[in-house]
Amino acid sequence: DAGVTQSPTHLIKTRGQQVTLRCSPKSGHDTVSWYQQALGQGPQFIFQYYEEEERQRGNFPDRFSGHQFPNYSSELNVNALLLGDSALYLCASSPGGVGILHYGYTFGSGTRLTVV
Amino acid sequence: AQKITQTQPGMFVQEKEAVTLDCTYDTSDPSYGLFWYKQPSSGEMIFLIYQGSYDQQNATEGRYSLNFQKARKSANLVISASQLGDSAMYFCAMRDSPGGGADGLTFGKGTHLIIQP
């Protein structure tokens, strides 16, 4: 049973460019969340998608946007890249449903983005 | 205000010893969940253990147990009989529902655990 798959694994972009990261959730999961993990820090929540809509958003600017497709896969888009956007971007999937606190997330191995 | 605090940036432990990783949290929601994840150098976050705020007993999963002290807002991870493969970053995380339906996890800054032979 495949877990969460993220692509690409590594990416180098130039300041000002745009980037798209992709995530396929674990089989049976319909909710996808994205996290940014700067070097030496814990992951920070960007946003979550459920039923193709953004359900919750963390403290990130509008340059960060996303999309969820009917097959539950998701994309994270970042526009006008800054040097500070360099980080490991983690995708996590979970079974859907509001208030189901005991379901843990399954994380992918992440996409390491370097902005130069 | 910081919601998850991990006060040990790094720890060195001898193989086969038990180790306790500290985590304190802050929330005003009576319903919340606490998680511990392991992150090896490969980057993947590996789920270790979960404790719900209403759970009466401390959670256990194999060599992992969670010392949950609700009144102190503490959720320490205990690893028994540590192994070399336990060397990794460990993150404490919380999910609460301040408005109902909010599912984003809040992570601490992590503890870098190194097991020495």
- Which amino acid, A5? T
Residues from chain A that touch B105, judged by Cβ atoms under 8 A, are 33, 35, 43, 45, 92, 105
What are the residue ranges of helices labelled H in chain B? none
Mean pLDDT (whole number) for A6-29: 96
List chain B residues with CB under 8 Å of A53.
Answer: none
Does residue B75 surpass a pLDDT of 80? yes
Q: Does B30 touch chain A (CB under 8 A)?
A: no
Sequence length of chain B is 117
Q: Give the pLDDT confidence score for residue B97 in this predicted structure.
A: 61
Residue A91 CA, distance from chain mean position? 4
More confident residue, B77 or A2: B77
Please give the distance of CA A114 from its chain centroid, rounded to a whole number.
16
Strand A111-115, strand A10-13: pairing: parallel
The arithmetic mean of pLDDT across residues A21-47, rounded, is 94
The whole-number pLDDT of residue B98 equals 52
The per-residue pLDDT for range B25-71, each reduced to its tens digit, is 999 888 888 999 999 998 889 999 999 999 989 999 999 999 999 99
Question: What is the structure's pLDDT at A95?
Answer: 82
Average pLDDT over residues B19-23: 98
**pLDDT average, residue stretch A87-99:** 82
Record the tokens describing residue A88, joined without a space: 């490991």
CA end-to-end distance (rounded Å), chain A: 37
Confidence of residue A101 (pLDDT cuts 50, 70, 90): low
Counted across chains A and B, CB pairs separated by less than 8 A come out at: 76
Q: Are the C-beta atoms of B37 and B90 separated by less than 8 Å?
A: yes
How far apart, in whole angstroms, are the C-alpha atoms of residue B79 and residue B24?
A: 17
Which of B97, B104, B108 lies nearest to residue A99, judging by beta carbons?
B97
Q: Structure tokens of A54?
A: 């953004």
Q: How confident is the model at residue B100 (pLDDT cuts 50, 70, 90)?
A: very low
Mean pLDDT of chain B: 91
Tell me the average pLDDT across A60-82.
97
Nearest to B107 among A31, A43, A101 (CB): A43
Give the gap in angstroms from C-alpha B14 to the nearest C-alpha of chain A.
24
Q: What percent of chain B has pLDDT over 70?
A: 92
Helix H or strand E encompassing A81? none
- The residues of A whose Cβ lies within 8 A of any Cβ of B are 31, 33, 35, 40-45, 47-48, 55-56, 58, 88, 90, 92, 94, 98-99, 101-102, 104-110, 112
pLDDT at B38: 97
* pLDDT over 90 at A10, yes or no: yes
Contact (CB, 8 A) for B27 and B96: yes
B113, B18 Cβ separation under 8 angstroms: no
